[in-house]
């Protein structure tokens, strides 16, 4: 459902689910800069942390997204204290739009500029 849920993916390792990637429309986002854009979310089981699975899976989901909805920007929000998530955001090409306070912590909002479709 591109207008609400552009993508939902299960990350599998040797037949077992280790994580999930979501691309959803940021319709009710707390920050105006994110509203209406695709919002990348991910969740991995702790044993999968630090092995590069999130980077590989998120990159694959973003490549898929670029093919299905070319030219659309993607946002990502994480806590600044989450060093692994901040590193992943940078690795995936997200740049800081703003920082804000929510859920009793400093949050980081990043933007991945749209990939220009090749002609």
For the segment 64-102, what is each residue's pLDDT rounded down to a tens digit?
999 988 889 999 999 999 999 999 999 999 999 999 999
Segment 2-26 mean pLDDT: 85
Q: What is the dihedral of CA 7, 72, 111, 74, to 10 degrees?
A: -10
Of 100, 102, 98, 88, the closest CA to residue 57 belongs to 88
Least confident window among 13-17, 83-87, 114-118? 114-118
pLDDT above 70 for 3: no
pTM for the model stands at 0.86
Domains, the chain, in order of start with CATH, read 7-112 (3.40.630.30)
pLDDT class for 26, splitting at 50, 70, 90?
confident
pLDDT above 90 for 19: yes
Ramachandran quadrant class, 115 (left: phi over 0; alpha: psi -120 to 50; beta: rest):
beta
**Whole-number pLDDT of residue 5:** 60
């Amino acid at each position: 459902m591109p207008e609400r849920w552009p993508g939902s993916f299960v990350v599998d390792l040797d037949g077992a689910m280790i994580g999930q990637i979501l691309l959803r429309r940021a319709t009710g986002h707390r920050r105006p800069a994110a509203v209406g854009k695709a919002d990348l979310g991910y969740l991995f089981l702790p044993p999968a942390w630090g092995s590069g699975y999130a980077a590989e899976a998120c990159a694959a989901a973003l490549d898929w997204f670029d093919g299905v909805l070319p030219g659309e920007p993607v946002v990502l929000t994480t806590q600044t204290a989450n060093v692994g998530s901040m590193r992943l955001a940078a690795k995936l090409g997200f740049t800081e739009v703003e920082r804000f306070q929510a859920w009793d912590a400093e949050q980081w909002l990043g933007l991945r500029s749209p990939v220009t479709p090749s002609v």
